[in-house]
């Protein structure tokens, strides 16, 4: 499969949206309240034809390998921000970026997607809000931004600018706590939270966080323990989708439809149906796994270099400094002296008459520093 890298020069600020991280407008996944991030270049994207499930991804010491599952042909991807397939785009940085937050902080950001849109986040949107949080925005401020977006898409979110405080609280119970119909809250509970808003002790942004904390305090409760279990399961699925796999659907319509359907498939008892909807054939892949350490060159590899570059002078009866370079054993015995002359001082080969390359010197350095295996 041909690998295509695209670097798109930007002549103006890039629009980064409030809830989705995309650049399109008109949907809550792409956001109503925009932020401007000045950038000289758009992200570097490696593109592959076909859906994500046609490929297997693996992290390497220098980037990622992308293997066609049908043909076994692999491509090396380095220096890129994301990998685009026909159906989804994988944000390669979200795994490491998520580790800059505590587990509770990450959980709280994900909870806002559930609270205001009842969906799992896409990786780009979550990445954007991690950046905003790290830059100093509080959870309440971020929550207010989500609310501003939610009221502009009331047909999808249930929030509207004209709703009463009671109506607002009931939507929170439905979206956040999964309580509607037979499990809808009693009027007294609704009026308590509504009173907090009316008295100015809470804003619509801060009330979400307060109610989430309150709900999680019921963990293990025989009557209401299913509520925090539902929240935790939605969070687990969101992390699987956006953080472990770094997924973004490639169109606004697919993002809205699919991420809401995934969240709706979660139950207090199970994440299985939701994970099945994500449908990752490459399910064990994880952006959270650290990059493997670079492999250490072997003595056999160094012998191939010395045979080509050093043989002329050092494989004679009386070689310079008494060092021969014709076996792995003598290379290991003289490893420190070879390292000093070839890497540190770069005096050998003498005058570089045999044109040893910088890459070959780097191999000798890695071999010595890695223990001369």
336-345 per-position pLDDT tens digit: 989 998 998 8
Between 72-86, 123-137, 283-297, the lowest mean confidence (pLDDT) is in 283-297
Exposure string for 335-355, b = 16+ CB within 10 A, e = fewer: beebbebbbeeeebbeeeeee
The 3-state DSSP class for residue 14 equals: strand
Contact between 145 and 20 under an 8 Å Cβ cutoff? The reply is: no
Q: Is the pLDDT of residue 5 over 60?
A: no
DSSP annotation of 46 = E
Contact between 38 and 15 under an 8 Å Cβ cutoff? The reply is: no
Measured from the Cβ of residue 231, the count of other Cβ atoms closer than 10 Å reads: 24
Cis peptide before 156 (omega within 30 of 0): no
- 230 CA to centre of own chain: 23
Contact between 252 and 109 under an 8 Å Cβ cutoff? The reply is: no
Contact between 190 and 197 under an 8 Å Cβ cutoff? The reply is: no
Q: Tell me the DSSP string of 109-143.
A: HHHHHHHHHSSPPPHHHHHHHHHHHHTT--HHHHH
Q: Is the pLDDT of residue 272 over 70?
A: yes
Positive or negative, the CA dihedral 262, 111, 245, 259 is: positive
Reported as a single tens digit per residue, the pLDDT across 228-240 is: 999 999 999 999 9
**Hunting for tokens 């015995």 — which residue is that?**
333
Higher local confidence (pLDDT), 21 or 242: 242
Q: Tell me the DSSP string of 19-45.
A: SS--S--SSTTT-SSEEEE--SBPPPE
């Amino acid at each position: 499969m041909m690998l295509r890298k695209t670097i798109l020069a930007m002549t103006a600020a890039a629009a980064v949206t409030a809830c989705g991280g995309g650049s399109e407008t008109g949907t809550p996944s792409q956001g109503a309240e925009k932020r401007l991030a000045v950038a000289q270049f758009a992200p570097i994207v490696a593109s592959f034809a076909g859906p994500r499930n046609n490929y297997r991804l693996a992290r390497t010491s220098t980037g990622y390998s992308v293997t066609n599952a049908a043909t076994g042909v692999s491509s090396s991807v380095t220096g890129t921000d994301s990998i685009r397939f026909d159906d989804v785009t994988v944000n390669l940085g979200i795994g490491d970026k998520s580790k800059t937050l505590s587990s509770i902080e990450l959980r709280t950001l994900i909870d806002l997607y559930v609270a205001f849109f009842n969906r799992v986040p896409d990786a780009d949107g979550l990445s954007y809000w991690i950046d905003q949080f790290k830059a100093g925005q509080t959870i309440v401020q971020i929550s207010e931004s989500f609310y501003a977006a939610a009221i502009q898409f009331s047909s999808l979110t249930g929030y509207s600018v004209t709703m009463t405080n009671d109506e607002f609280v009931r939507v929170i119970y439905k979206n956040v706590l999964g309580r509607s119909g037979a499990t809808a809250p009693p009027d007294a509970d609704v009026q308590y939270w509504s009173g907090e808003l009316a008295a100015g002790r809470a804003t619509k942004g801060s009330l979400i966080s307060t109610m989430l904390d309150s709900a999680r305090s019921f963990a293990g409760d025989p009557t209401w323990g299913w509520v925090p279990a539902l929240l935790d399961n939605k969070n687990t699925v969101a992390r699987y989708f956006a953080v472990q796999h770094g997924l973004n659907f490639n169109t606004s319509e697919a993002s809205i439809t699919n991420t809401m359907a995934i969240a709706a498939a979660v139950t207090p008892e199970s994440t299985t149906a939701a994970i099945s909807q994500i449908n990752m054939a490459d399910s064990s892949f994880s952006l959270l796994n650290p990059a493997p350490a670079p492999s250490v060159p072997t003595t056999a590899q160094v012998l191939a270099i010395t045979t080509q570059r050093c043989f002329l002078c050092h494989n004679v009866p009386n070689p310079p400094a008494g060092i021969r370079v014709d076996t792995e054993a003598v290379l290991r015995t003289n490893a420190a002296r070879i390292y000093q002359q070839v890497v540190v001082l770069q005096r050998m080969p003498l005058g570089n008459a045999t044109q040893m390359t910088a890459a070959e010197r780097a191999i000798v350095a890695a071999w010595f520093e890695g223990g001369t295996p």
